[in-house]
Structure 1
Amino acid sequence: MVESLFVLMIFISMAALFPLIYGTVYRVEEQLDPERRTEWELFVLQLRKELYMSHSLKITDEQITFIQEGEVVSIEKYKEGIRRRVGGRGHEMILQEVSSVQFYPCDSSLCTRAVFKNGEKERAYLHLFAGEAI
């Protein structure tokens, strides 16, 4: 009888601790998986650099085009990602697993909004320098 009570007490203690352990493991896993955020930040940095070195910016809903070193460069939504093309050729994927993207002017900036396949949403504001048209 005493042994049964002892086993029941251990089982109840373990059952009470399970949600705490599960929550901790979930948070650690979330912190160890920053790949999507890092990929987004790299995309924004590359876009900022491209815009800084370019002119004649044209913005449409899912595409931006500009001239860089005499070549027309486009960054556009393509299937489940965003790709970069130079002169209408090439296929350099610069952001993956994107369900939708939107480029739009806001004040003197280019705003970018993306929704990833897992439901995460990201947004960036890129300042446009003098001489860049919207």
Structure 2
Amino acid sequence: MNSRGFTLLEMLVVLAVVLLVVSFLPLLLDVRWLHDKQNEFQPLEWQVFLQQIKSEIREAKELENVSTTLYAYKPTGEKVSFEMYGTLIRRRVNGQGNEIVLQNVSNVQYYLATTGVQITVTAINGKRYEAFVSTFFPVRVRR
């Protein structure tokens, strides 16, 4: 009886060859589109930035705005700043550190009030993002 079909060994060899070819597939694909996405303003990153700055503003006893830098003075004596650094916004504590909190930014403006801070960020692509961060208690504003 001469039946036609594949043996288990033949199927394993074919599976091994297919897996080998598939493992090299990512190297053959053009992944430049991932790099292009990295140079865009990310809305999710904006939301994380807002959460970070909300925390700092609500803990502050005093706020100060100097050009494109926001200073939050905490009761513990720390001075936290959010400042432009090229196309980035970085967070620093007491003038030290370099924590990047937002990327691909062309301009940032802070408008201070005793009840909170109006934040306006302009992305590199020209789109504007605005938010108002309110405080729980009135905050002293340095002029």
* TM-score in terms of structure 2 length: 0.64
Contact 2:82 2:89 in 1 (8 A): yes
- Quote the Cα distance in structure 1 between the aligned partners of 2:117 and 2:138: 14
Which residues in structure 2 correspond to 1:1-134 (within 5 Å)? 36-68=42-74, 69-106=76-113, 108-134=115-141
Shift of the alpha carbon at 1:46? 0.8
Deviations 1:48-77 (A, max 9, x none): 111112211112331111223321111111
- Quote the Cα distance in structure 1 between the aligned partners of 2:80 and 2:132: 20
Largest Rg, 1 or 2:
2
Q: Which has a greater percent of helix?
A: 1
Shift of the alpha carbon at 1:109? 2.4
* TM-score in terms of structure 1 length: 0.68
Deviations 1:9-58 (A, max 9, x none): xxxxxxxxxxxxxxxxxxxxxxxxx9711111110111111111221111
- Quote the Cα distance in structure 2 between the aligned partners of 1:55 and 1:106: 13
Contact 1:60 1:104 in 2 (8 A): no
Contact 2:41 2:105 in 1 (8 A): no
Aligned to 1:10: none
Q: Percent identity?
A: 31
- Quote the Cα distance in structure 1 between the aligned partners of 2:41 and 2:119: 19
Quick one: higher RCO (CA 8 Å, sep 6+), 1 or 2? 2
Gaps of 5+ in 2: 1-39
What's the secondary structure of 2:54's corresponding residue? helix
Letter in 2 for 1:112: I
How many pairs were matched up? 101
What's the secondary structure of 1:129's corresponding residue? coil
- Quote the Cα distance in structure 2 between the aligned partners of 1:106 and 1:131: 9
